[in-house]
Amino acid sequence: MDSFDALTFGETMALFIPSAPGPMETSHELVAGIAGTESNFAVGLARLGHSVCWISRVGNDPFGKRILKTLRGESVNVDHVRAADDAPTGLMFKELRAAGSPNIFYYRRGSAASAIDVEQFRGLKSRFLFVTGITPALSESNLKATLAIVDQFRATGTTIVFDPNMRYKLWTAEKARPVFLELARKSNLLLPSLDEARILTGFKELDQMATALLKLGAERVAIKAGDQGAYFTDGSSSGLIPPFFVQQIDPIGAGDAFCAGVVSGLLDKLSFRDAVIRGCAMGAVCVTAYGDYAALPDRAELEKFLAGSSAHSR
């Protein structure tokens, strides 16, 4: 039986970014890479020295092969990924702008990853299972599979970590909310953004949202609060961790890096507060370069960043 520190599953796409900021329709060159919330999380953990397995389906095409080769090179286990002949690998295009967040364009309907199979998880053990709200948004079969996978690992004592990761291009908040609530009630650790916490609770204040999320059944909650930092609570202690000061280049992937940092801290048996600080540090480092995970640090780089960032102001 294969055993890991963490296991995650979901869609990773082939990513294409113009070589320079500006409208994509006038770009003459695209740079290829890969992108996916769950694989970003997996790379973040692997670079910090943890054993992590990512499970999905990719197309039996050049893009799927690129994804597998890239993640193997990052020391992420991909032995349980299936290559499909009947569906393609999803595509993502990121349009860089001189100011503001990038524009994202998805081509993922009917992709291989919209048919993840629970049989791919047979015989696996993990200390943590990282789940997002993206996977169940891809198809009805993925929704059923996600719930079954969570139940399977929860029954064996695995710590379930849920990041709603709302994608408005995939579904509405009204459709997502009952799914998010069901997954939240099955989870031990909740890591929503401010927007996602509002969807789940209806509240606007951080402390109110965190308290309401704990009442769903989670043992710990950390809310990614953007420029405010991150608000955490475990029922006995709570507080706001301010953000680290960095020069932001590309904000995409910061939330995934945060989640990897928090789970890494808990794997290393840090206090929840210190684990959230590690998450904030990972998120800060992530945004300092173009690409969803390009700047993610190894352990030595993370420790150096933390040692040189005694001030948390942005």
Token pair of 35, please? 């992108």
- Note whether 187 and 131 are within 8 A (CB): yes
Contacts 24+ apart (CB under 8 A), 168-171: 169/104, 169/106, 170/106, 170/134, 170/137, 170/138, 171/137
Torsion of Cα atoms, 277 then 283 then 286 then 292, to 10°: 150
CA-based nearest residue to 9, from 112, 93, 102: 112
- Environment class of residue 256 by beta-carbon count within 10 Å: exposed (0-12), middle (13-18) or buried (19+)? buried
* Candidate list 256, 274, 292, 298, residue with the active-site label: 256
In whole angstroms, give the CA distance from residue 189 to residue 263. Answer: 9
In whole angstroms, give the CA distance from residue 295 to residue 253. Answer: 10
Is 234 noted as a catalytic residue in this protein?
no
Catalytic site positions: 256
